[in-house]
Structures are given as structure tokens and as C-alpha cells.
Structure 1
Amino acid sequence: MTSQLDRPARFGHPGLDGAAAHCVALEETLVRLRTTQLPLLTAWGATLADRLPTGSRLLAAGNGGSAAQAQHLTAELVGRYQEERPAYSAISLHAETSSLTAIGNDYGFDELFARQVAAHGRPGDVLVTMSTSGTSRNLLRAAEVARDLGVTVWAMTGPRPNPLAAAADAALCVEADRTATVQEAHLVALHLICAAFDASLTPRRLSA
């Protein structure tokens, strides 16, 4: 985490201490996630279950805390979430340190992920971009390159409106006024994606 979202506190809780207010804000955010976003997350998991077993891959990227979240997602797919299953291709672009530093040195910070998407992305792949602000220029450039290649772009961000959500094919936008709360909701969301992925794979394994 690097900064608070540049937004007024719409979900503040006067009278509560910091820890209690944090917990209440997270509870309210997760209720909104459950009541409004579950169909989207289920659909994302099902889409990955359609594509990854046929050779497509998931590319993921973020900055700072969002980089850790994106790497968590790829680890769940290459390893496993809960049920035993085959490994599937998922790459965290920010974890490719030699490529990252070479690209940053030669092309600039804005091209960190776009250059890697150009190298790895194929039609049918999915790029997941994670940003609490939705304004990270390097993720916007990655989304632009991905769309040109026929790669599906999903964004996980903080509140709408933001440029990254607008640039994506679909977006999960967490309505919360603190960076920490957005990132915590993103962690829950990526676990829900993985659960939906595994659930969608199960009938295919049984019919195989």
C-alpha cells in the first residue's frame, strides 16, 4: 500500500477507533461485494475454466500491494486453490525481475507490462490488471496492447469511474474509500474467482 485513495470518506464511522472503523468498513465493503459482484466473479472463474485447459494463459500485473495480490492469483492457478487438479498457465508480469528492470531501463516505467504482454499475449489469453486507483499508466498501456492482440482484459480496481475500468472488457470496482479496504476486498474476490474456476472444472473432469 502506498497511499489512501484520493476520495472523500463516504463510508466513515465517527466515534469508532481506527481498528474498529477499519473492520466495519471492510464488513460493509464485503456485503456490497457479495450482493452486487458475485455473478461477475463467477463468470470470470467459468471463463478461465473454459480457456486455460485448452492452452490459453492468464497474465496478471499490479504495482505495490496490488502486485502481491496479482501474484497470489497466479499462484493459486499454477498450484491449487483447494481441490487437487492439474496446473494451469498463469504468469505474474511484475515477478519477471530481469525483464522488468531491462524494460524499465530501456523503455521507461510505463512500458513495464505492455512489452511483456506483447511478448506473451495471444488471442484467448486473459490479462488481469489490479490497481486500487485505476490510474496506473503502466497497466493502462498493458491493457491497450492486450486489446490490440485479442487478449481479454479484466480490471480489479477501487471505485468507479477510473481509466483502467474503462479500458477493460470487464471490471470489478470496489466501492471503498481506503486503499487497504480495496486490497482486502480484492483478496476475497480473487479467492472467489478461484472457487468458481474449480467448480466449473469439476463437471469437465467427471465427463472426461
Structure 2
Amino acid sequence: MKEVIYAGLNEARTVLDEFMRPETVSLINEAATLISDALQSGRKIISCGNGGSLCDAAHFAEELTGRFRKNRKPYPALAINDPAYITCVGNDYSFEEIFSRYIEGAGEAGDVLLAISTSGHSKNVVKAAQAARTIGMKVVALTSVGSNQLSPLADIVLASPKTEFSDRVQEIHIKVIHLLIQSIEIKLGHH
């Protein structure tokens, strides 16, 4: 069993090493600047995803409205994760529209959408990005390397190396989320 654990840790390290390139660091900084500028302009951040990616979306919003490492004022951020809303729209319209309808109702020009999809092919996340673009929101995509439907809709694409299973991609995503929040706090003078 210990061999399995060591193998898993080594695999995670390999994926992180592959991800950690100067261009990736620049893109994370660019995304943090985009989000910081939106917050400084009084805009809000909306995040979405499915399954584990929805948990990451909620974690991102929670860290922005709560706190990361130090006490500071809350930033306006929310994840589209209300079960009553999701089941209402999923039932009355379609599961593909659960995020886009929310964006159409609550999003405004200048807001930022953090769209999370390990594959980049989640139809409801793609539709959310399309809706965001239509109303003048900026889109940051958190996905994996490779051709997908989400990346062309994003202003900034933060792509994990593609792996056989999504858990390694999700591990990179949570690392990126923490780096974004830390960078946003520094850019907004809370460090």
C-alpha cells in the first residue's frame, strides 16, 4: 500500500513540475490582475463548475468573501451552487442552463466568471462562459491542456497538464485557486 501512496505523490509532483513554467506563472498573474482590477472597480466574481469543480468554485468564492491567510474586508464573490436554484432550472429548463441563466440574471458587464471544467467540455460551464461573454463579463477558464469548447471563450486560460484521471487536474486547480487568492490579496493591499 505504501508503494501506491508514494506513486500517487510522485505522480502529483510530476504534474506540478510540468505545470510550473514561466508562461503559466505569467497567466496566473494576469488572471489575478484581471480579477483584482474588477474588484477595485466595484465588480463581482462569479464561479461555477460540476462535482469537484463546483466544490473548487465554492472554495474560491468562500476564500474571497471570507479570508485566506489574514483578516481583511470581504470581496464580492459567489459560486453558483444553491441546490434549490440548480434543481429548479435543471427541472424547468435543462441541466445545461443551470449556470448560464444565473449569469444572465446576476452577471453584469465588468464582472468576472471563473469557469472551472477539468475537461473543458462541460456543456453547462461552456454555456455560462457564452452567457458571460454576451453581457460583457470577463472569463477566466480553469481547465486542462488540449482542444476543448471552454478555452476559446475565455480571456485567460489556466490549463493543467492533461492526465489520465481528473484528480491530478483538480489538484492543480486548487493550487491555482490558492495562488489567485493570495495574489489578489497582495494586489489589493491586503498582505
Q: State the TM-score bracket (shorter-chain normalisation).
A: over 0.9
Distance in 2 between the 1:32 and 1:123 partners? 35
Say which one has the larger Rg.
1
Distance in 1 between the 2:186 and 2:65 partners? 16
Q: Give 2:10's aligned residue.
A: 24
Q: Give 1:13's aligned residue.
A: none
Indicate conservation of the 8 Å contact 1:53/1:88, yes or no.
no
Q: How many residues align?
A: 188
Hey, which bits of structure 1, 4+ residues long, moved more than 6 A?
none
Structure 2 residue ranges without an equivalent (≥5): none
**Where does 1:73-112 land on structure 2 (aligned, <5 Å)?**
73-93=60-80, 95-112=81-98
Distance in 1 between the 2:100 and 2:153 partners? 14
Distance in 1 between the 2:49 and 2:180 partners? 17
Distance in 1 between the 2:9 and 2:152 partners? 30
AA aligned opposite 2:156: A
1:74 to partner: Cα distance: 0.5
1:169 to partner: Cα distance: 1.7
Distance in 1 between the 2:34 and 2:40 partners? 11
**1:183 pairs with 161, 170, 185, which one?**
170
Q: Are residue 155 (structure 1) and residue 141 (structure 2) matched?
A: yes
Indicate conservation of the 8 Å contact 2:47/2:78, yes or no.
yes
1:19 to partner: Cα distance: 2.6
Structure 1 residue ranges without an equivalent (≥5): 1-15
Distance in 2 between the 1:29 and 1:164 partners? 21
Which fold has the larger relative contact order, with Cα–Cα distance below 8 Å and residues 6 or more apart in sequence?
A: 1
SS class of match (1:18): helix
Q: Give 1:42's aligned residue.
A: 29
1:17 to partner: Cα distance: 4.2
Taking structure 1 as the reference length, the TM-score comes to 0.85
Distance in 2 between the 1:185 and 1:17 partners? 22
RMSD: 1.7
Q: Are residue 120 (structure 1) and residue 115 (structure 2) matched?
A: no
SS class of match (1:153): strand
Distance in 2 between the 1:17 and 1:157 partners? 29
Q: Give 1:6's aligned residue.
A: none
Indicate conservation of the 8 Å contact 2:146/2:162, yes or no.
no
Indicate conservation of the 8 Å contact 1:83/1:198, yes or no.
no
